[in-house]
């Protein structure tokens, strides 16, 4: 049986990311399902060659609140150069979740966006 977390991991790997760690907690409310790195495509002399990304996966329905972003931000405090991503099967994100994400370099991926990535992945196999 394939878990939603493993499916998300596969989608990130397919899109050029390398998973460096899974299921990391800080004991203070911070939680991420996986860390990944990707080589930066548009490098400049002011940016290093890798993008660090912390990913939180939620298998929710309806609208998701800002709890996932809060967990990510707690972990991102220790890695100021890291970006964040929340992947959720939810139909969307609350206004609070969207505002928190927008102000803190967190990408929000709802069920529709995940489905698009999954279809691209499936087409690439054939």
Each residue's pLDDT tens digit, 50-93: 888 999 999 888 888 999 999 999 999 888 788 999 999 888 99
CB of 100 closer than 8 Å to CB of 106: yes
CB of 36 closer than 8 Å to CB of 51: no
* CB proximity list for 44: less than 8 A, separation 6 or greater: none
- The Cβ of residue 122 has, within 10 Å, a number of other Cβ atoms equal to 9
Q: What is the pLDDT of residue 42?
A: 62
What average pLDDT does the structure give for the chain?
88
Predicted TM-score (pTM) of the model is: 0.84
| Domains, the chain, ordered by start | 4-125 (3.40.1350.10)
* CB proximity list for 45: less than 8 A, separation 6 or greater: none
Listed in order, strand segments (DSSP E) in 12-77 are 18-25, 31-39, 50-58, 63-64
Tokens 């609350």 identify what position? 94
Q: pLDDT (tens digit, 9 = 90+) per residue, 1-56?
A: 578 999 999 999 998 899 999 999 999 999 999 999 987 666 556 666 788 899 99
């Amino acid at each position: 049986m394939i878990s939603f977390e493993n499916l998300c991991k596969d989608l990130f790997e397919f899109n050029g990311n390398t998973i460096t760690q899974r299921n990391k907690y800080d004991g203070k409310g911070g939680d991420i399902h996986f860390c990944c790195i990707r080589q930066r495509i548009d490098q400049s002399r002011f940016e290093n060659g890798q993008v660090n990304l912390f990913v939180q996966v939620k298998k929710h329905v309806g609208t998701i609140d800002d709890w996932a972003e809060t967990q990510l931000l707690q972990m991102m405090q220790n890695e100021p150069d890291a970006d964040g991503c929340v992947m959720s099967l939810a139909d969307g994100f609350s206004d609070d979740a969207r505002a928190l994400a927008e102000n803190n370099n967190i990408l929000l991926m709802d069920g529709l966006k995940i489905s698009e990535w999954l279809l691209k992945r499936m087409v690439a196999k054939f």
